[in-house]
Amino acid sequence: MDKAQQDFYQKLRVKIKKWIENHDQKDQKWAEYILLAPDIFHLLCKLAMDPEVPASKKVKLGVVIAYFVSPLDFLPEMILGPIGYLDDIALSAFILNDIINNTDPKLITRNWAGERDILELVKTILVNADKMVGSGLWQKLKNKLS
């Protein structure tokens, strides 16, 4: 991970922790997923640099990494705070699922630094993506990368 990515990763982790500390439980319906954002971002960057990941998948990873750091997306973090990472997380899970299904899933697991099983997390995120970001928006996001 280069310096800019590392800085983004650290800032994201701090921002999410502060948000969770300062909000009531009722406002944190998706906190479990939002807490995954820094680790998912880290995974995307590691996969983009992994020589075993096919070039066609690296292009998609690059798009998702750019989407993650861009202030302009469907759920903007500048306006919504960490809730705005839900679309980034859902889109990341969509691409990770593509890699899992079309390459060796060990590419994902060996690059994952998080504590929970990433293969199960991807499935769970995808099952909940419609509720996380709204079905109309979810279809738009998936269509962009399909």
Is the pLDDT at 2 greater than 70, yes or no? no
Region 39-43: what's the mean pLDDT? 93
pTM score of the predicted model: 0.82
Average the pLDDT over each of 23-27, 50-54, 70-74, 99-103 and give the range with the smallest value: 23-27
pLDDT tens for 63-92 read: 999 988 887 777 777 777 777 889 899 999
Q: What angle do CA 10, 16, 22 make, to 5 degrees?
A: 135
Is the pLDDT at 98 greater than 80, yes or no? yes
Burial status of residue 121 (CB atoms within 10 A of its CB: 0-12, 13-18, 19 or more): buried
Where are the alpha helices (H) located in the chain, listed in sequence order? 3-21, 31-34, 37-49, 55-69, 77-80, 86-102, 106-111, 118-133, 135-145
